[in-house]
């Protein structure tokens, strides 16, 4: 019997998401509907497994696989969920790989050569590249005859004009590849599949998509292509994030090194793991925890995060020549009515008129009918995009 399904593994900095698709449903151009999807999510140290089965029933349980032990998580998914479901043999496993560098701007079959090249990019995305490759290794160990396919977050931004990718650094360093790459591309790609049905011809205009989660960034679109984005050479730049600082004065880093005598390891730990919401609040990097807290430091952290989002939306609107629509996505973007409301209120001068009831109810459109700029809360589907890319490569 021929293999009939595609397994997608999406290993992020705080969760492992997965989805299983019928291969026949992945011919495109529409995003396919999953036979099963879910995630292992780390909520302040507690690993929880959530999934929706083929009948649409949602399940939740504590995960026995420690969050971050990718091999154990992949084993748990295959042994306890996917194999018992009897949904067909797996034709390929698609993996979200955050950084493809200059070389990989489309999905790739993972050969030893490709695996080695991606490992060399680990320092450019230290929170993600390692876990993503660990997922590749774990799946290859369990399914050694099944093709492993890499789908890249950076690939979506390859359409950006050269000027948008240029840093004002010496040309020799630029020519070595020190440029803006951008991330969350699979998420942005998924949103572009949904915009035409929501906006019609307006979808081809100036749209800012806010992918807000543990990692957070914005992307400015025109004609459904990436024109500008807030992340750059690494996934540290741009917005305030869960534990990452976002954009800061590089002179401060130099000061820490020269005057405070911090070494590279200490600075890296501070900027990637101890900053952002976690650093400002000194409580947690999880927005869910901060929203439930009455501590003034939690409120300050949320306010700093919102101000960062608002600031960069304004900057991206300038880059793309206006704003025809705003989309919130990602874990925070789709689940935090508070953050969406605060951002929209701050952008009211641009013509964003929030519908408070629709926003609180988590409806798709969260602005009033008379809003000059419509705003939406849309669940992304990185796994659906991965399935399309993997199926196209297999074909």
Same domain, 207 and 148: no
Q: Is residue 96 part of a domain?
A: yes
Q: Is residue 15 part of a domain?
A: yes
Task: Out of 118, 152, 186, pick the residue that ends a domain.
Answer: 152
pLDDT-flagged residues of the chain (< 70)? 1, 12-14, 42-46, 67
d(CA 335, CA 337): 6
Residue 221: CATH number of its domain: 3.30.420.40
Which residue range is the domain that position 235 belongs to? 201-377
Q: Is residue 256 part of a domain?
A: yes
Provide the pLDDT for residue 13.
61
Q: Is residue 208 part of a domain?
A: yes
H helical segments located in the chain: 70-77, 83-85, 112-119, 129-142, 171-175, 185-199, 250-258, 264-273, 276-281, 287-291, 296-320, 330-335, 337-346, 356-360, 382-394
Same domain, 11 and 127: yes
Length of the chain: 395
Same domain, 77 and 214: no
Residue 377, sorted as left (phi over 0), alpha (psi -120 to 50) or beta, turns out to be beta
Provide the pLDDT for residue 44.
56
Order of all β-strands in the sheet with 108-109:
58-62, 46-52, 36-43, 15-22, 5-11, 90-97, 148-152, 108-109
153 carries an active-site annotation? yes
Provide the pLDDT for residue 70.
86
In this prediction the pTM is: 0.94
Name the catalytic one among 41, 53, 79, 153.
153
Same domain, 75 and 218: no
Same domain, 225 and 360: yes
CB neighbour list of residue 25: distance below 8 Å, 6 or more residues apart: 32, 33
Task: Out of 152, 186, 214, pick the residue that ends a domain.
Answer: 152
Residue with tokens 């869910």: 288
Provide the pLDDT for residue 14.
63
Same domain, 373 and 226: yes
């Amino acid at each position: 019997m021929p293999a009939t399904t595609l397994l997608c593994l999406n290993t992020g900095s705080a969760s492992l998401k997965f989805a299983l698709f019928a291969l026949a449903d992945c011919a495109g151009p529409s995003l396919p509907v999953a036979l099963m999807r879910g995630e292992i999510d780390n909520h302040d140290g507690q690993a929880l497994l959530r999934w929706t089965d083929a009948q649409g029933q949602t399940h939740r349980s504590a995960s026995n696989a420690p969050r971050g032990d990718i091999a154990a998580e992949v084993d748990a998914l295959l042994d306890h969920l996917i194999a018992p479901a009897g949904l067909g043999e797996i034709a390929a496993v698609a993996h979200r790989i955050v950084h493809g560098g200059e070389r990989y701007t489309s999905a790739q079959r993972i050969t030893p050569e490709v695996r080695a090249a991606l490992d060399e990019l680990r320092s450019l995305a230290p929170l993600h590249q390692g876990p993503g490759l660990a997922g590749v290794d774990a799946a290859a160990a369990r399914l050694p005859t099944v093709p492993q396919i890499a789908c890249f977050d950076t690939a979506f931004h390859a359409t950006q004009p050269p000027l948008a990718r240029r840093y004002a650094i010496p040309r020799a360093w630029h020519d070595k590849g020190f440029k803006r790459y951008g991330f969350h591309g699979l998420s942005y790609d998924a949103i572009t599949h949904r915009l035409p049905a929501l906006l019609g011809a307006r979808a081809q205009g100036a749209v800012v998509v806010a992918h807000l989660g543990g990692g957070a960034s914005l992307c400015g679109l025109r004609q459904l292509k990436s024109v500008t984005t807030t992340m750059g050479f690494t996934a540290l730049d741009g917005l305030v994030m869960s534990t990452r600082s976002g954009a800061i004065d590089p002179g401060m880093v130099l000061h820490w090194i020269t005057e405070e005598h911090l070494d590279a390891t200490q600075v890296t730990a501070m900027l990637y793991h101890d900053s952002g919401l976690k650093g400002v609040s000194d409580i947690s990097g999880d927005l869910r925890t901060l929203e439930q807290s009455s501590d003034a430091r939690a409120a300050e952290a949320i306010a700093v995060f919102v101000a960062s989002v608002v600031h960069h939306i304004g900057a991206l609107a300038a880059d793309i020549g206006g704003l025809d629509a705003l989309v919130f996505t990602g874990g925070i973007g789709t689940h935090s009515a508070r953050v969406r409301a605060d951002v929209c209120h701050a952008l009211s001068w641009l013509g964003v008129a929030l519908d408070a009831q629709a926003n609180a109810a988590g409806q798709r459109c969260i602005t009033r009918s008379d809003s000059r700029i419509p705003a939406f809360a849309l669940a992304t589907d990185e796994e659906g995009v991965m399935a399309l890319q993997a199926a196209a490569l297999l074909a």
